[in-house]
Amino acid sequence: MRESDAISGLLENKKGSVSTLYKPQFFRLNQSASRKDFIQLLDTAGVIVHDTIQEQIAELIKFRHPSVKFTPKALQDKVQEFIKNIPLEEYGVWVHYPWSNRLLHVLDEKEFIEIRTSRNQYKITPEERDELSGKKIGVIGLSVGQSVAVTLAMERICGELRLADFDLLELTNLNRIRTGLHNLGLAKVYSVAREIAEIDPFLNVICFPEGIHDENMEAFFCSGGKLDLMIEESDGFDIKILSRYKARELKIPVLMEASDRCMVDVERFDLEPERSILHGLVDHLDVATLKSLKTTEEKIPYMLDILGIDTASLRLKASMLEIEQTINTWPQLASAVTMGGGITADVARRILLNQFKGSGRYFIDVEELVGDKMPNASVLPELPVMLNTNVSEITKKLELKALPTPYILDKEKAACIVNAACLAPSGGNFQPWKWVYTSGRLLLFNAFDAQDTFLGADDLPSLIAFGAAIENLTLKASELGLQTHCTEFPKSDKEELIAIFEFSENTAIKTQLSNRISSIGLRLTNRNLGHREKIEDTILQNLQAIEKEIPGAGIRFFTEDKVLDEIAEVLGEVEKLRLLEEMGHRDFVNEIRWTAEENDEKKDGVDLRTLDITNAERVGLQVARDKGIIKLLNEWKGGGAFKKLTKKSIDSASAIGLISMPGSTKADYMNGGKILQKVWLDANASGIAFQPVSSSLFVYARLFNAQGEGISEEGKKALLGLRPRFERALDLKPGRKEIFIFRLCKAAEPKVKSLRKPLDEVLVCL
Ligand SMILES: Cc1cc2nc3c(=O)[nH]c(=O)nc-3n(C[C@H](O)[C@H](O)[C@H](O)COP(=O)(O)O)c2cc1C
């Protein structure tokens, strides 16, 4: 036999099976049956006897005579006198712990409790101790719950503990659950029950190793007498809610501690039986729905409602973004779990003694209470910042009234045309335009101070938006039988004046009407993921042919899987770097309209509902709003979650389009915007979903054109390092300037459409 086989054989012989015993056995030698069993036990192999009864009696005597200083001899005499003529081994009780085969000799219950709790007095009076020893506490969930249950037992603030958890102990639990390695694989309930039995064998512990469910809920709360307090520390969302409904029905107070910022949650259903569970945070939920929630994905938004993500610690929030990126699940520390145990036990005692009656949510944030005051992080201005342009003054200076124009546009037509122009897309839906109607003409002004935005270097996104708006304007005018004559970037001492539009009547133009007009109101950004399905060649060819409509414009499509995969990687990486920058992060947070109400009120920005994201990703984004997380994620070299969203959207794209121009003048960008709008209108008209994925171009514009202002040194280095791969992935050609990147796919129509500011806010009539 090989030596290793011999070792395996020996190990196999020695392996113990995982026992589920958790109740100690008592032997009282003054009872004959018990005595017989005791003798039999002593006869079995491996029993380890530990007898300190004499010392325990001595402790009891000293406790009962606090003013007497006993000599060792006097104390020994007192012990003899105390036990009278009972043989020492028969005094008290023998307790056998089958899981460790230890046999201990201890005082019997009354004296044991008296002496084991003696150091509690008068923090807990004997009367309070006796009152508490009749209390029954249920603990659901045994991470924080383990610490709580053991502390409750040590302090002895109950006589019975019902423990529920279906989990087994794993090595990853041992960063916060105080137990030995020999317990790995054991149900958490048994591990805690044994620990308690080893501290106090007289406490009645009842285990629910399957956790709490519909069938055993009644037994957990009521069997053997109604619970006096429920401590809820479960990870299971439905159980959190359902157990509270039950507790409220039975008028049982509920206590919960979240091991983050020591959040303690108290619900006095005994005093306020009508009280909404969880302070009304989940009132909108229906129990039937709760029971049907299966995946973490489905549960997460509700979990958020319960825990209140805004009040979570910064590190927890940042960590949540790293789940499934660099960690498996959210972190929990032994210090927090230990504190949670202590704080919960303290509050539990006062609730049980009716010394504390206040329901509510309380924070004992140690870092806040004992910590250096953090200097305020740099305060970037709130976006969008509108330019303080006096459009009437600039307009007046142009003295347009004195100049001839081929056609005097009336006010109604002006409004109609501007309305169509404003339906154009704009970066972050900031609608950077201001329109002036004057002397039968229209003027377009830049109203948005993009320079201070991360992606706005050189106003590039605004110029593209103006180009798109001009395309709409021209189309709408032609529908009205008008030809547009546009003077771009007219001479003016103010750069904010972008274009002057004059019109002339042209009936022929109406007959050459393009289909694009009807697409103006239908065009939209479709962020739904869809799937990588081939787009018909003719559609792509027609879209590509649009490049001929503006001299110098170029349109290319990438459709090969391998190429798309690489573009997804690279654009995802740039997006991550953008969001890890303080300014980039601020802009992103600012651009999103986080609630329907905010969206309706502001009528700009990107409605969160238009993003095709999972519940978990939505939670992630909400968490990511806190600017403090950026510093942490940078320190941890994390942020992978930021890459994921862009990568996912390109992973589901059928094609990536790249618009380029021969140069990088303002006119090139504005023309790029016109081309963009033409492609977008036609793509949407062909039933193809269109979404810009262009932010990387604006990030590089900040790096190269604005000397990287606002980008951290690490960010600059990373972007420069990535640049060759970026150029290769998009096959950028020398002599061409990349203006815009978008993805095309086949996807469902979005349910929500972006809004626009009312016309009277963007159009001035002079
Ligand atoms: C210059 C520019 C950049 C844009 N960048 C993005 C982008 O990176 N991601 C995205 O989803 N949408 C992007 N968009 C689309 C706008 O967010 C969108 O046009 C705006 O929210 C209005 O919505 P609508 O296109 O559905 O009318 C961009 C649009 C423009 C003009």
The pLDDT tens digits of the residues spanning 152-206 come to 999 999 999 999 999 999 999 999 999 999 999 999 999 999 999 999 999 999 9
Closest protein CA for atom 17 of ligand 1: 428
Q: Which of 518, 546, 574 is the last residue of a domain?
A: 518
Please report the pLDDT score of residue 374 as a whole number.
Answer: 72
Supply the Cα-derived Rg of the chain in whole angstroms. 37
Are residues 295 and 401 both part of a single domain? no
The end-to-end CA distance of the chain, in Å, is 103
Residue 377 above 60 pLDDT? no
Q: Is residue 383 part of a domain?
A: no
Are residues 104 and 133 both part of a single domain? no
Q: H helices of 603-730, where?
A: 615-623, 628-635, 640-651, 666-685, 695-705, 713-729
Residue 383 above 70 pLDDT? no
Residues 6+ apart with CB under 8 A from 594: 608, 622, 625
CA 648 to ligand 1 centroid distance, Å: 17
Residues 6+ apart with CB under 8 A from 437: 409, 411, 414, 415, 418, 443, 763, 764, 765, 766
Residue 509, phi then psi, degrees to nearest 5: -60, -30
Triad 208, 214, 219: Cα angle to 5°: 50
Percent of the chain with pLDDT over 90: 79
Question: Which atom from ligand 1 is nearest to the alpha carbon of 695?
Answer: 8
Residue 625 above 70 pLDDT? yes
Dihedral sign, Cα of residue 479, residue 483, residue 489, residue 495: negative
Closest protein CA for atom 4 of ligand 1: 427
Closest CA to 704 of 677, 685, 732, 680: 732
Side-chain-side CA neighbours of residue 319 (13 Å)? 14
Amino acid letter for position 607: D
Question: What does the alpha-carbon distance between residue 760 and residue 430 come to, in Å, rounded to a whole number?
Answer: 16
Give the three-state DSSP class for 445: strand
Q: Is residue 377 part of a domain?
A: no
Please report the pLDDT score of residue 224 as a whole number.
Answer: 96
Question: Which atom from ligand 1 is nearest to the alpha carbon of 676?
Answer: 31
Question: What does the alpha-carbon distance between residue 309 and residue 17 come to, in Å, rounded to a whole number?
Answer: 43
Amino acid letter for position 307: L
Q: Is residue 765 part of a domain?
A: no
CA 419 to ligand 1 centroid distance, Å: 18
Are residues 90 and 163 both part of a single domain? no
Mutate to test the pocket of ligand 1, among 423, 426, 603, 670 (most ligand atoms within 8 A of CB): 426
Amino acid letter for position 275: R
Tell me which residues have their CB closer than 6 angstroms to ligand 1.
425-429, 461, 464-465, 468, 524-525, 527, 606, 691-695, 754
Question: Which atom from ligand 1 is nearest to the alpha carbon of 673?
Answer: 31
DSSP secondary structure, 275-291, as one string: PPGGGGTTTT--HHHHH
Closest protein CA for atom 28 of ligand 1: 427
Higher pLDDT, 617 or 150: 150
Question: Which atom from ligand 1 is nearest to the alpha carbon of 527?
Answer: 11
Question: Which atom from ligand 1 is nearest to the alpha carbon of 461?
Answer: 1
CA 604 to ligand 1 centroid distance, Å: 11
Are residues 149 and 107 both part of a single domain? no
Q: Is residue 11 part of a domain?
A: no
* Torsion angle of the four alpha carbons 700, 703, 704, 708, in this order, in degrees rounded to the nearest 10: 170
Are residues 357 and 412 both part of a single domain? no
CA 562 to ligand 1 centroid distance, Å: 26
β-pairing, 160-164 vs 136-140, is parallel
CA 447 to ligand 1 centroid distance, Å: 18
Strand partners, 443: 436, 500
Residue 309 above 80 pLDDT? no
Please report the pLDDT score of residue 618 as a whole number.
Answer: 86
What's the pLDDT tens digit per position in 33-84?
999 999 999 999 899 999 999 999 999 999 999 999 999 999 999 999 999 9
State how far Cα 282 lies from the chain centre: 18
Here the tokens at position 23 are 């109740």
Closest protein CA for atom 31 of ligand 1: 426
Q: Is residue 379 part of a domain?
A: no
Here the tokens at position 90 are 């028969």
Closest protein CA for atom 10 of ligand 1: 692
CA 724 to ligand 1 centroid distance, Å: 26
Q: From edge to edge, which strands make up the β-sheet containing 655-661?
A: 554-558, 655-661, 737-745, 689-692
CA 565 to ligand 1 centroid distance, Å: 22
Pair 412, 616: CB distance under 8 Å: no
Taking all residues of the chain, what is their mean pLDDT, rounded to a whole number?
A: 93
CA 425 to ligand 1 centroid distance, Å: 6
In eight-state DSSP terms, residue 50 is E
CA 605 to ligand 1 centroid distance, Å: 9
Mutate to test the pocket of ligand 1, among 419, 422, 429, 666 (most ligand atoms within 8 A of CB): 429
Q: At what angle do helices 561-579 and 695-705 cross, to 10 degrees?
A: 60
Give how far Cα 271 sits from Cα of 141, 254, 266, 268, 351, Å: 25, 11, 12, 5, 11
Are residues 634 and 603 both part of a single domain? yes
Residue 418's pLDDT band, with cuts at 50, 70 and 90, is very high
Strand partners, 363: 263
Closest protein CA for atom 13 of ligand 1: 692
Residue 567, phi then psi, degrees to nearest 5: -60, -40
CA 743 to ligand 1 centroid distance, Å: 12
β-pairing, 48-51 vs 25-27, is unpaired
CA 526 to ligand 1 centroid distance, Å: 9
Pair 453, 383: CB distance under 8 Å: yes
Here the CATH number for the domain that contains residue 460 is 3.40.109.10
Q: Is residue 141 part of a domain?
A: yes
Q: How many structural domains is the chain composed of?
A: 4
Are residues 671 and 628 both part of a single domain? yes
Are residues 32 and 149 both part of a single domain? no
CA 484 to ligand 1 centroid distance, Å: 26
What's the pLDDT tens digit per position in 656-667?
999 999 999 999
Residue 554, phi then psi, degrees to nearest 5: -135, 140
Q: Which of 76, 92, 116 is the last residue of a domain?
A: 116
Here the CATH number for the domain that contains residue 131 is 3.40.50.720
Range of the structural domain that residue 722 is part of: 531-757
Question: What does the alpha-carbon distance between residue 220 and residue 232 come to, in Å, rounded to a whole number?
Answer: 13
Are residues 582 and 709 both part of a single domain? yes
Spell 331-367 as b/e; 16+ CB within 10 A means b.
bbeeebbbbbbebbbebbbebbbeeeeeeebeeeeee
Mutate to test the pocket of ligand 1, among 383, 471, 525 (most ligand atoms within 8 A of CB): 525
CA 735 to ligand 1 centroid distance, Å: 27
Are residues 231 and 145 both part of a single domain? yes
Question: Which atom from ligand 1 is nearest to the alpha carbon of 606?
Answer: 21
Are residues 691 and 675 both part of a single domain? yes
Other C-beta atoms closer than 10 Å to the C-beta of 62 total 16
State how far Cα 194 lies from the chain centre: 36
Residue 5's pLDDT band, with cuts at 50, 70 and 90, is confident
CA 684 to ligand 1 centroid distance, Å: 14
Question: Which atom from ligand 1 is nearest to the alpha carbon of 694?
Answer: 8
Please report the pLDDT score of residue 4 as a whole number.
Answer: 85
Residues 6+ apart with CB under 8 A from 376: none
Q: Is residue 297 part of a domain?
A: yes
Residue 546's pLDDT band, with cuts at 50, 70 and 90, is very high
Question: Which atom from ligand 1 is nearest to the alpha carbon of 428?
Answer: 17
Question: Which atom from ligand 1 is nearest to the alpha carbon of 465?
Answer: 31
Are residues 304 and 404 both part of a single domain? no
Q: In this predicted structure, which of 171-185, 380-394, 455-469, 578-592 has the lowest mean pLDDT?
A: 380-394
Closest CA to 192 of 234, 151, 233: 151
CA 114 to ligand 1 centroid distance, Å: 73
Closest protein CA for atom 23 of ligand 1: 754
What's the pLDDT tens digit per position in 118-144?
999 999 999 999 999 999 999 999 999
Q: Is residue 6 part of a domain?
A: no
Residue whose structure tokens are 């590509």:
544
Please report the pLDDT score of residue 78 as a whole number.
Answer: 96
What's the pLDDT tens digit per position in 639-687?
999 999 999 999 999 999 999 999 999 999 999 999 999 999 999 999 9
